[in-house]
Chains A and B, each alone.
Chain A
């Protein structure tokens, strides 16, 4: 982190004083010295000072120039210039108008105020150098008195009109509700276009659960549908969880009516020979946090969604998985030693091998917090109760860990997802080329696909989980044509182990 040492704007001859352009414009309004210090370590390299004089209380003044703090790191070059301070790109907001954390926002980590009145500042803003000290009066008073006065939220950096309502985690940009929603929608559009996820003419089935993610997904895609040239349908899965799924389905039906989208509901009971999730939960072993019925549900739900999408003639399936979900899945796969899933997960969804419909997750780069805030600002009605079995799901451990990690390092969520995408598995760990399930014909890396294997176990009264390092003890015959796996020599009286 270099500390700038001159205030001369390169090539800008009109900068004739050593004061920063914004300070010049605001000179008469600022009281006191202005300390733009960085961490304590490099304070000595800050030379000189600009001491604009003035008497009025800075906080009471509205910053005339645009409040723009460099925008996202990637797009700094494209940041539009302020119309008010011509000739000076990216004028900075008056620091006293900004609350504590914001000056630290350009850069990955957001430093907190040090408590001694200085702000931990950041990387240089391109084309702009500041000299000297900005002593923020509000923070100075934090040193002297324990209770700092209230600070209003800064103006939106995009429209400059409304007050900012949030700061985007990745770029640190402060946006108002409307501008944030537009940015969110633009990012989803970009995800879809850049990954060529939903080509024009696609008939898209949205996996709708009534929850926050699928509600936001359906709403955004409905807005983007004309632009993308796609048609939308809702497919909801009824797992047969009393007291939960019925209420959630009521929410989906309301949404389908409001959005005027066709809705199809597929039930486990019909698809899987009478097995509802409640029945599965009764048969599966374990208790408390180690109950495994959720693992069954994950596999069966994907199969049900596939079936529902086929029934309505869809060409693509979309689900509302957000970045937090993806990160939790990565953690879970590591914790369970599931190399196969680690290899297959991530990326932009699955292209649909072996006759399965292509699937994607347009929200996968959106953080959970932003999904919730989007739903809030757009006043979307969604179902927000937890599944009755959720407290027992293994994912809960991963979620707790992820939340704690995120508090310490906000970028951890997306970093986890990116790390998983870049993994290369050791040769011995790579899963075999998939063939077809001997029972239902779906994609399978062994003789039986996961859904059939799970249902098989349930029907025999010996529920087994097909996750982790391998399905040991599965007494199935290798189908002709698939390479026999020596680790899986079938024995007639194999006791299922996991």
Chain B
């Protein structure tokens, strides 16, 4: 049982193009049975924020390889990746690396 959470979801490196060009989204995740981990956040984002071409953002359970995820400015690898439990006021940043340099 998870309480409602207020988190900031941000997109960068070109990923924002899939979200109407909007980089920062302040979202309120509703209370629900399952806990709010990143896995469920991704499902929520795909359903509520993603405007086009989900295959460029999501692959299976997780983000497409080449998209970095930073939670509170730390690589999600350090925090358990999909299993990280979101806290209130967390900030999740998705940066795409899939473009020329």
Contact = CB atoms under 8 A, between A and B. Distances in A.
Interface of A: 99-102, 147-151, 153-154, 163-167, 174, 177, 209, 211-216, 320, 322, 325, 368-369, 371-373, 376, 384-387, 390, 399, 403-404, 406-407
Contact of A166 (B66, B77, B87): B77
Contact of A150 (B14, B85, B93): B85
Given A148-B83, A177-B73, A371 B101 contact: yes
A147 B37 contact: yes
Interface string B25-66: 000000000010100000000000000000000000000011
A22 B99 CA distance: 45
A213 B101 contact: yes
Contacts of B70: 165, 376
B78 A403 contact: no
B98 interface: yes
Given A164-B78, A209-B100, A384-B96, 18 more contacts: A101-B78, A148-B83, A150-B79, A150-B85, A153-B78, A164-B74, A165-B73, A166-B77, A212-B99, A213-B101, A215-B101, A216-B101, A322-B101, A376-B93, A385-B14, A386-B14, A390-B100, A403-B66
A165 B85 contact: no
B4 interface: no
Contacts of A101: 77-78
Contacts of A373: 68, 75
Contacts of B98: 386, 399
Interface in B16-30: 17
Contact of B80 (A151, A163, A376, A387): A151
A211 B100 contact: yes
Nearest to B75: A166
21 contacts: A99-B78, A99-B79, A101-B77, A151-B79, A151-B80, A164-B74, A164-B78, A165-B75, A174-B78, A177-B73, A212-B101, A320-B101, A325-B101, A368-B97, A371-B97, A372-B68, A384-B13, A390-B99, A399-B98, A403-B65, A406-B65
Contacts of A151: 79-80, 84
B14 to A, nearest CB: 4
The interface size bin for chain B is: 20 to 34
B68 A386 contact: no
A404 B65 CA distance: 7
A153 B87 CA distance: 14
B12 A384 contact: yes
A235 B51 CA distance: 37
A212 B95 CA distance: 12
Interface of B: 12-14, 17, 35, 37, 65-66, 68, 70, 73-75, 77-80, 83-85, 87, 93, 95-101
Contacts of B75: 165-167, 373
Contacts of A325: 101
A49 to B, nearest CB: 27
Given A165-B73, A322-B101, A407-B65, A154 B13 contact: no
A166 B98 CA distance: 19
Nearest to B71: A153
A375 to B, nearest CB: 9
A401 B13 CA distance: 21
B99 A369 contact: no
Nearest to A154: B78
Given A100-B80, A151-B79, A384-B13, A372 B95 contact: yes
A377 to B, nearest CB: 8
A101 B80 CA distance: 8
A386 B100 contact: yes
Given A147-B35, A149-B85, A407-B65, A384 B99 contact: yes
A369 B97 contact: yes
Q: Which 5 A/B pairs are nearest by Cβ-Cβ distance? A: A213-B101, A166-B75, A403-B65, A211-B101, A384-B14
Contacts of B101: 209, 211-216, 320, 322, 325, 368, 371
A320 B75 CA distance: 23
A99 B81 CA distance: 10
Q: Which of B85, B87, B96, B99 has the most CB of A within 10 A?
A: B99
Contacts of A406: 65
A216 B65 CA distance: 22
B99 A386 contact: yes
Contacts of A150: 79, 84-85, 87
A178 to B, nearest CB: 11
Given A100-B80, A147-B85, A153 B74 contact: yes
A320 B12 CA distance: 20
B101 to A, nearest CB: 3
A209 B85 CA distance: 39
Contacts of B12: 376, 384
A151 B85 CA distance: 8
Given A147-B37, A373-B68, A376-B70, A385 B17 contact: yes
B74 A166 contact: yes
